[in-house]
Amino acid sequence: MVSTVATRAPVLEARNINKHFGPVHALKDVNLSVRPGEVLALIGDNGAGKSTLINVLTGVLPFDSGEIIFDGQPVRFSSPQDAREHGIETVYQDLAVAPHLDAVANIFLGREHRTGGLPGALGFLDNDRMRKETDEQLARLRVRVPDIERRLVTLSGGQRQGVAVARAVMWASKVVIMDEPTAALGVAQTAMVLDLVTQVRDTGIPVIFISHNMPNVFQVADRIVVLRLGEVVAELDPKTASIEDAVGAMTGSMRFARGEANQGE
Ligand SMILES: Nc1ncnc2c1ncn2[C@@H]1O[C@H](COP(=O)(O)OP(=O)(O)OP(=O)(O)O)[C@@H](O)[C@H]1O
Ligand SMILES: [Mg+2]
User: What is the best residue among 30, 43, 51 to mutate for testing ligand 1's pocket, by most ligand atoms within 8 Å of CB?
Assistant: 51
Which residue's CA is the nearest one to ligand 1's atom 24?
A: 46
On whether residue 106 sits in a domain, the answer given is no
Q: Is residue 39 lining ligand 1, measured as CB closer than 6 Å? A: no
How do residues 10-28 score in pLDDT, each as one tens digit?
A: 999 999 999 999 999 999 9
How confident is the model at residue 254, as a pLDDT?
A: 59
How do residues 84-133 score in pLDDT, each as one tens digit?
A: 999 999 998 876 678 788 889 888 888 888 888 888 888 888 889 999 99
Q: Per-residue pLDDT for 236 more than 80?
A: yes
Pick the closest to residue 241 from 233, 252, 249 (CA basis). 249
Distance 47 CA to ligand 2 centre (A): 7
Pick the range with the lowest mean pLDDT from 5-9, 37-41, 190-194.
5-9
How confident is the model at residue 90, as a pLDDT?
A: 93
Instruction: Name the E strands within 22-54.
Output: 24-34, 39-43
For 188, residues 6+ apart whose C-beta sits below 8 A from its C-beta are none
On whether residue 39 sits in a domain, the answer given is yes
C-alpha–C-alpha distance, residues 179 and 95, integer Å: 9
On whether residue 116 sits in a domain, the answer given is no
CATH number at residue 257: 3.40.50.300
On whether residue 90 sits in a domain, the answer given is yes
Per-residue pLDDT band for 257 (boundaries 50, 70, 90) equals very low
Domain hosting 213: range is: 5-99+155-262
Per-residue pLDDT band for 263 (boundaries 50, 70, 90) equals very low
Distance 21 CA to ligand 1 centre (A): 9
Distance 227 CA to ligand 1 centre (A): 12
Q: Is residue 94 lining ligand 1, measured as CB closer than 6 Å? A: no
Q: Per-residue pLDDT for 264 more than 50?
A: no
Distance 49 CA to ligand 1 centre (A): 6
- Whether residue 10 contacts residue 35, with contact meaning beta carbons closer than 8 Å, is answered with yes
Higher pLDDT, 125 or 249: 249
On whether residue 150 sits in a domain, the answer given is no
On whether residue 143 sits in a domain, the answer given is no
On whether residue 134 sits in a domain, the answer given is no
Distance 139 CA to ligand 2 centre (A): 29
**Collapsing DSSP states into helix, strand and coil, what is residue 78?**
coil
How do residues 69-81 score in pLDDT, each as one tens digit?
A: 999 999 999 999 9
Please list, residue by residue across 98-115, b when 16 or more beta carbons sit within 10 angstroms of its beta carbon and e when fewer do: eeeebbbbbbbeeeeeeb
Mean pLDDT of 29-56: 97
pTM: 0.88
Neighbours of 255 (CB within 10 A): 11
On whether residue 118 sits in a domain, the answer given is no
Q: Is residue 33 lining ligand 1, measured as CB closer than 6 Å? A: no
Which residue's CA is the nearest one to ligand 1's atom 1?
A: 21
Per-residue pLDDT band for 255 (boundaries 50, 70, 90) equals low
User: What is the best residue among 45, 50, 58, 209 to mutate for testing ligand 1's pocket, by most ligand atoms within 8 Å of CB?
Assistant: 50
Distance 53 CA to ligand 2 centre (A): 9
Which residue's CA is the nearest one to ligand 1's atom 7?
A: 21
Number of domains observed in the structure of the chain: 1
How confident is the model at residue 176, as a pLDDT?
A: 96
Pick the range with the lowest mean pLDDT from 8-12, 78-82, 145-149, 184-188.
184-188
